[in-house]
Amino acid sequence: MAASRRNPAPDAASRAGTQAGGDKPEYRVEALAKGLRLLSLFDEQRPTWRVSDLAVASGLPMPTVYRVVMTLTAEGYLDHLPGGEYRPGVRTLTLGGAALRSLDLVALATPKLQRLGEATGETVNLAVLTGDRVLYLVRLRNADLVTANIQVGSTLPAVHTSIGKLMLADLGEAELGDRITETSFPGQHGPNAKVSLDELRQELTQIREQGWALQDEELAHGLRSVAGPITGAGDRVIAGVNVAVQARDWSTQRIVRELKPVLLATCAEISQLAASGSA
């Protein structure tokens, strides 16, 4: 298994697989792909590598491997050991831990989310905050929504989504300022979208106080949603669940009256499961 991963041939195979799978090869970032290929060589059988050995195992030129390794080390994804070898750094471990926690959360939450979808007859999503965007971990589509192209693995601007605003409201002011910049507000959005952090701050304060968030045609025309928090240790918001609906069928008043209570009850159940670590 380890030997096959270290064969330089899979790079061509992976490119072919990408094209066969329908992805767009023009979006491929070669430098990133090379960095990920080098990181994938670290495993339990060989947790440390020298730059020269990485070059041989990956089939990449030595100067390229050196530059990639220096970059990964500077960013905290590799540690340089006194003997000259490299090992995965703290940031790599953090990513792995986040992935495992997300998978656990999906397994715990999905039955509850399915019941929420059945009870409301509407689309239900579970997402987490990553940078200035929300990443969708679960999507149970029960209605013909405007954003029909959203799927598990999709990301959307946090500032224009109910889950995103809910999670941004849980951040401290310094972290909020670090995450949200002018580029966090895309040009394409719905008619009621906020277009700056200063404009959004008042709403985030309200969301923090009330414990839920509403999205009223901010992401796209004709789409509304209400989001509730999944909380972890210290009552920090670790994820969000929303119910997304067509604006033509649901006024904001009806959403708050009919959907918010069952949504928040579901979020409380999932939070309790996440805290106990069992279903």
DSSP state of 182: G
DSSP state of 159: G
Distance CA 167, CA 155 (A): 14
pLDDT in the model for residue 277 = 64
- Helix and strand counts by DSSP (H, E) for the chain: 11, 8
pLDDT in the model for residue 21 = 40
The answer, yes or no, to whether residue 14 has pLDDT greater than 70, is: no
Phi, psi of 136 (to 5 degrees): -85, 120
Distance CA 123, CA 110 (A): 13
Phi, psi of 259 (to 5 degrees): -95, -40
Between residues 4 and 225, which one has the greater pLDDT?
A: 225
Residue 189 backbone class (left: φ over 0; alpha: ψ -120 to 50; beta: rest): beta
Three-state DSSP at 139 gives: strand
Instruction: Please name the helix (run of DSSP H) or strand (run of DSSP E) that holds residue 73, with its range, or none.
Output: helix 62-74
pLDDT in the model for residue 30 = 87
Three-state DSSP at 263 gives: helix
User: What's the mean pLDDT in 187-197?
Assistant: 93
pLDDT in the model for residue 151 = 81
Out of 98-107, 169-178, 214-223, which region has the weakest mean confidence (pLDDT)? 98-107
Which residues fall within 8 angstroms of residue 270, CB to CB, at 6 or more apart? 105, 108, 109, 112, 113, 230, 241
When computed from its CA atoms, the radius of gyration of the chain, rounded to whole angstroms, is 22
Instruction: Please name the helix (run of DSSP H) or strand (run of DSSP E) that holds residue 17, with its range, or none.
Output: helix 10-20
First and final CA of the chain: distance in angstroms?
34
pLDDT in the model for residue 269 = 96
For residue 244, the cross-strand partners are 123, 225
Render pLDDT for 195-235 as a digit per residue (tens, 0 to 9): 999 999 999 999 999 999 999 999 999 999 999 999 987 78
Q: Which is it for strands 123-130 and 133-140: parallel, antiparallel or unpaired?
A: antiparallel
Q: Please report, for residues 102, 125, 270, the alpha-carbon distance to residue 151 in angstroms, rounded to integers and kept in the order given.
A: 16, 9, 21
Distance CA 163, CA 226 (A): 8
The average confidence (pLDDT) of the chain is: 85
CA-based max dimension of the chain: 65
Query: Cα angle vertex 16, ends 10, 22, to 5°?
Result: 135
Out of 17-26, 125-134, 198-207, which region has the weakest mean confidence (pLDDT)? 17-26
